[in-house]
Chain A
């Protein structure tokens, strides 16, 4: 079945260092979403990417969607302790032209040492 692979599983950084997580699919995606889950919390929507090669920025976060729409990345510049959490990519399979069924990656758990 459809799988979304996300790497790395864990990333430990010093505050101020950059962080990147990568998401790969074996099939072309209609769109991809990114979520953040704080320890003990629930996933919170960050962004949705739809177009091939799309790049979106939210302050220190940069999201990219690959040209072939099979991969995506999230880059955080100059991490802060508030960035701690698990970042998930979620692929929208657009079943029967109905969007919304998301397949989540395994997530990348980010820890930031002050």
Chain B
């Protein structure tokens, strides 16, 4: 069990650029979650997958955000036309169907300048 991994760990980009993050879940976990966390706040739910199916996407997400999990293994989160307000830590987590305890990756820290 190598845990959840995320790449890159840090990303600095200019406003208006597109960025893509990758998450590799624990191999036997079929659920994968994306969260966003800003300083002093709890993780904020963005979206989650069961296998390759995207079950829900937060209404807080604009159309600039998209996530995929094409083969039910790794996932990517893309942000188009980044804005300064997108600066945050993007966390990925995975779990089994039951129990739902989630294992988090180290996160990708995005800074939009």
CA distance in complex: A42, B36 (Å): 12
Is the CB of A103 closer than 8 A to any CB of chain B? yes
Interface membership of A66, Cβ < 8 A: no
Q: A101-B45, A107-B42 are in contact. Are A42 and B100 (CB under 8 A)?
A: no
Check: B102 CB closer than 8 A to any chain A CB. Answer: yes
The distance in angstroms between the C-alpha atoms of A71 and B83, with both chains bound, is 37
* B99 and A42 within 8 A (CB): no
Interface check A24, CB cutoff 8 A: no
**A45 touching B56 by the CB < 8 A rule?**
no
By secondary structure, the A interface counts as strand
- Indicate whether A100 sits within 8 Å of B105 (C-beta atoms), given known contacts A95-B56, A106-B41, A107-B42: no
Partner of A42, one of B41, B45, B107: B107
Q: How far is the CA of A104 from the CA of B41 in the complex (A)?
A: 9
Q: What 1/0 flags go to B83-113 for Cβ under 8 Å of A?
A: 0000000010101001111111111000000
A49-87 Cβ-contact flags toward B at 8 Å (1 or 0): 000000000000000000000000000000000000000
CB contacts (< 8 Å) of A95 on chain B: these are 55-56
Q: Contact: B100 with A43, CB < 8 Å? A: no
Q: Give Cα A6–Cα B74 distance, bound, in whole angstroms.
A: 33
Q: A101-B48, A101-B56, A104-B43 are in contact. Are A42 and B104 (CB under 8 A)?
A: yes
Q: Are A99 and B42 in contact (CB under 8 A)?
A: no
In-complex Cβ contact of A43 among B41, B43, B95 (8 A): B43
**In the complex, what distance in Å separates the CA atom of A6 from the CA atom of B42?**
10
Q: Does B31 contact A (CB under 8 A)?
A: yes
A100 pairs with B43, CB closer than 8 A: no
Which one of A42, A45, A106 contacts B106 once the chains associate, using CB atoms below 8 Å? Answer: A42
CB distance from B49 to the nearest CB of A (A): 10
| Cβ contact within 8 Å between B42 and A104 | yes
How far does the alpha carbon of A31 sit from the alpha carbon of B95 in the complex, in Å? Answer: 15
Chain B residues in contact with chain A, CB under 8 A?
Answer: 31, 33, 35, 40-45, 48, 50, 55-56, 91, 93, 95, 98-107
Binding site for B on A (CB under 8 A): 6, 31, 33, 41-45, 48, 88, 90, 92, 95, 98-107
